[in-house]
Amino acid sequence: MARMKFLCDADRCIECNACVTACKNEHEIPWGINRRRVVTLNDGKPGERSVSMACMHCTDAPCAAVCPVNCFYTTADAVVLHNKDLCIGCGYCFYACPFGAPQYPKVGNFGSRGKMDKCTFCAGGPEADGSKEEYEKYGANRLAEGKLPLCAEMCSTKALLAGDSDVIAQIYKERVKTRGYGSGAWGWQTAYHETIAT
């Protein structure tokens, strides 16, 4: 089985936000929820870099560790998913997440959080693959169809890579070797306790 990861090549990302739009469209994400977003560092200054960020599907995921109702699980492809039927919307995964991935629809009064929503690596949820229930709660299950996450698939500069760790790390290494520089695999040290030696 593969070890699925995201890798955003910040030297290629042009901040077009197509990944954000693709994600919202593919999974019919409601207003106010963003499973993926692009953050630009040093905007307008020399050395500006943009990084597309979503749930990184961490090794030993912090969200899963702190969840009071234990609603997270990790698939055989190392994708971190959660069960919305169990989630109570307490917000603890947001406190623990280093990447700000968990999102909460606003329901009811004041800051009441609804059931958490986050990137599924286009792998759906605990319901039957490709079922209506799964789609309504978690969005499309592209992995079950043999496809990779749409954000990376349609990235115009191929900055965002998604797939097996070894494969995407190799692609990135070759790029860095060819062009002579690379600002590194953003978030990898934090998410996977390892980075790509270039």
* Contact footprint for another protein (CB under 8 A): 10-11, 15, 17, 20, 32, 34, 37-43, 46-51, 53, 62, 65-71, 83, 85-92, 94-100, 110-113, 180-184, 186-187, 189-190
Structure tokens at 168: 């995407």
Cβ 186 to another protein, closest distance in Å?
Answer: 5
Query: How many Å apart are CA 132 and CA 137, to the nearest integer?
Result: 9
Q: Which is nearer to another protein, 10 or 150 (CB)?
A: 10
Is residue 2 classed as helix, strand or coil in its secondary structure?
A: coil
Name the residue nearer to another protein (CB basis): 29 or 122.
Answer: 29
Residue placing its CB nearer to another protein in the complex, 43 or 129: 43
Minimum distance between the CB of residue 147 and another protein, rounded to whole angstroms?
A: 25
> CB pairs under 8 A, 24+ apart, for 138-144?
138/27, 138/81, 138/84, 139/26, 139/27, 139/28, 139/29, 140/26, 140/27, 142/26, 143/4, 143/77, 143/79
Report helix, strand or coil for 122: coil
CB of 96 to another protein, least distance (A): 4
Identify which of residues 9 and 143 has a Cβ nearer to another protein in the complex: 9
